[in-house]
Amino acid sequence: MGTYLFERHTGAGAGRGASESLQDDVATALREIDWVENFAIHADGDNDEVVGVDVSFDAEWPDIRTSNPNQVSTVFHHLGLRTVANPTLSSRQASADDPLSAEPQDEDESEAFDLFLFDE
């Protein structure tokens, strides 16, 4: 489980699927991510610039994420979201093993191959 802060991020063409409400978009994003079991949004009255959320994850989230490593970055980009570092929490959220890290996962280039089609 972790507590996350979300803000709107519409740079580089992000946010094409965003609604007027940051809170609604955060809820939509978390419902779309396969390894999020449940979440609780902290409503902060009129503050629609930052949304706080307690999120619990499936215990097998690393294995689930392996099957779709770019899901978080794709969903966040589409809805124009990003997480904000929360200074009251441990630095674990900034690490690569964060279930909601939105950095695209690098493909292993050693497993990549090129396909060439030759006409006879």
- CB count within 10 Å of CB 89 equals 13
Query: How many alpha carbons lie under 13 Å from residue 49 in its C-beta half-sphere?
Result: 1
- Tens of pLDDT, residues 19-31: 999 999 999 999 9
Q: What is the pLDDT of residue 119?
A: 64
Task: Give the global pTM.
Answer: 0.77
Q: What is the pLDDT of residue 86?
A: 66
The DSSP element (H or E) to which 65 belongs, if any, is helix 61-67
Residue identified by tokens 């619990």 is 56
Task: Tell whether the model's pLDDT for residue 110 goes beyond 70.
Answer: no
Q: Are 100 and 75 in contact (CB under 8 A)?
A: no
Domains of the chain: residue spans and CATH: 2-96 (3.30.70)
Please give the single-letter amino acid code of residue 58. Answer: D
Q: Comparing C-alpha atoms, which of 32, 30, 52 is closest to residue 41? A: 52
Q: What is the pLDDT of residue 114?
A: 52
- Tens of pLDDT, residues 37-93: 999 998 766 667 899 999 999 999 999 999 999 999 999 999 999 998 866 655 444
Nearby residues of 10 by Cβ (< 8 Å), 6 or more positions away: 18, 80
